[in-house]
Amino acid sequence: MPLQLYAHPFSSYCQKVLIALYENGTPFEWRVLTPDDAATSAEFTALWPIRRMPLLRDGERTVVESSIIIEYLDRHYPGTAPLMPADAGAALEARLLDRFFDNYLQTPQQKIVFDSLRPAADRDPYGVREARAMLDTAYAWLDRKLAGRTWATGGDFSLADCAAAPALFYADWTHRIPATCSNVIAYRQRLLARPSFARAVDEARPYRSYFPLGAPERD
């Protein structure tokens, strides 16, 4: 039975796993989660009542959380492009940066996006200001971290870059990366040019109308 991925192409955390799958050409079956497919949605809920995408199904084994899925793939379905460094110290750096991209880019940018979907009376302007301030702080820190680096850890393309690609892609749509963070801007462009992420971006293009803040034309 092939691997099954319960996911949606426009989801940032699903794109994170798609990058890992595409990097190594790992075959899998799409189980696309959409509001009009009740059967697939019910399967997903039965497997993971928390209902947070993505979910990987490997035979009778269910694997959830994007970072864990990528490490699972790296261990059980290794290809020519390992995504976890063999060196223990470098692996810790990859995990640290993975957490950075998820917690300090994905989380605040999603706060802003989800707030825009609320009724006007229920919005949280203070929380949105905090989220924007966090993004500015994260951009500045990352710009210093990336100095002299091609990929996030300073070594090969890794778990950290799988996390970075969709995080920076959508964060820049939500709260523009300032021109002063030239290392971050250049890194985002390298990620967009990476074939694995370029494929994920192209597959998500039909869904850009879903982005509530308005998807820019530049990417």
Strands 55-58, 61-64: pairing is antiparallel
Arithmetic mean of pLDDT, 11-40: 97
> In this model, does residue 1 exceed pLDDT 80?
no
Q: How confident is the model at residue 73 (pLDDT cuts 50, 70, 90)?
A: very high
3-state secondary structure of 2: coil
Q: What is the chain's Cα-based Rg?
A: 17
| In the predicted structure, residue 110 carries a pLDDT above the cut 90 | yes
The three-state secondary structure class of 28 is: strand
Going by the DSSP 8-state scheme, the letter that residue 78 receives in this structure is -
- Report which of 66, 42, 40 is spatially closest to residue 53, judged by C-alpha positions: 66
Q: How far apart are CA 212 and CA 127, in angstroms?
A: 18
pLDDT score, position 92: 98
The model's pLDDT over 153-170, given as tens digits with 9 standing for 90+, comes to 999 999 999 999 999 999
